[in-house]
């Protein structure tokens, strides 16, 4: 559900929760969800996947290759974030780079949100 974690974080912050702890927990949970998407792409049956939506896959791969792994900084964006992490798995992006970029992107989102609320 888009904005679900943001709404929960906001309510916990407004209720007096510790901002640093809440940001770490929200980021960790969100990154773990992205790791699941990455793993699904990594272990997907490539032939089956490409037959399902060939145009969509070609377009997604082309865009990802154009912007590179740095596009993973946008993995927090609703609608495009999950496909980005799935494509990263399909294209076998280095897991350490994946974790670093996804964590930075998602953490920054929660940090900015916390700063706006408090």
Per-residue pLDDT of the chain (118 residues; tens, 9 = 90+): 556 899 999 999 999 999 999 999 999 999 999 999 999 999 887 777 767 777 777 777 888 888 889 999 999 998 889 989 998 998 899 999 999 999 999 999 999 999 999 8
User: Which pLDDT belongs to residue 17?
Assistant: 95
User: Which pLDDT belongs to residue 113?
Assistant: 95
pTM for this model (two decimals): 0.86
Q: Specify the number of domains making up the chain.
A: 1
User: Which pLDDT belongs to residue 2?
Assistant: 57
What whole-number distance in Å separates Cα of residue 81 and Cα of residue 72?
Answer: 8
Instruction: Count the helices and strands in the chain (H runs, E runs).
Output: 6, 0
Cβ–Cβ under 8 Å, residues 81 and 33: no
User: Which pLDDT belongs to residue 3?
Assistant: 64
Q: Which domain holds residue 107?
A: 4-117
Assigned token pair, 106:
């998602």
Give the residue from 78, 92, 118, 50 showing the smallest Cα distance to 105: 78
Assigned token pair, 47:
């032939």
Q: Is 75 helix (H, G, I), strand (E, B) or coil?
A: coil
DSSP designation for 71: G
């Amino acid at each position: 559900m888009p904005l679900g974690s943001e709404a929960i974080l906001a309510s916990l912050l407004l209720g007096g929760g510790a901002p640093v702890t809440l940001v770490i927990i929200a980021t960790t949970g969100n990154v773990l969800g992205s790791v699941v998407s990455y793993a699904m792409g990594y272990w997907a049956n490539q032939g089956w996947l490409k037959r399902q939506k060939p145009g969509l896959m070609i377009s997604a791969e082309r865009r990802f290759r154009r912007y590179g792994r740095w596009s993973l900084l946008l993995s927090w964006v609703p609608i495009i974030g999950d496909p980005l992490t799935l494509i990263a798995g399909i294209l076998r992006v280095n897991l350490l780079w994946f974790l670093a970029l996804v964590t930075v992107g998602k953490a920054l989102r929660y940090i900015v949100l916390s700063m706006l609320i408090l």
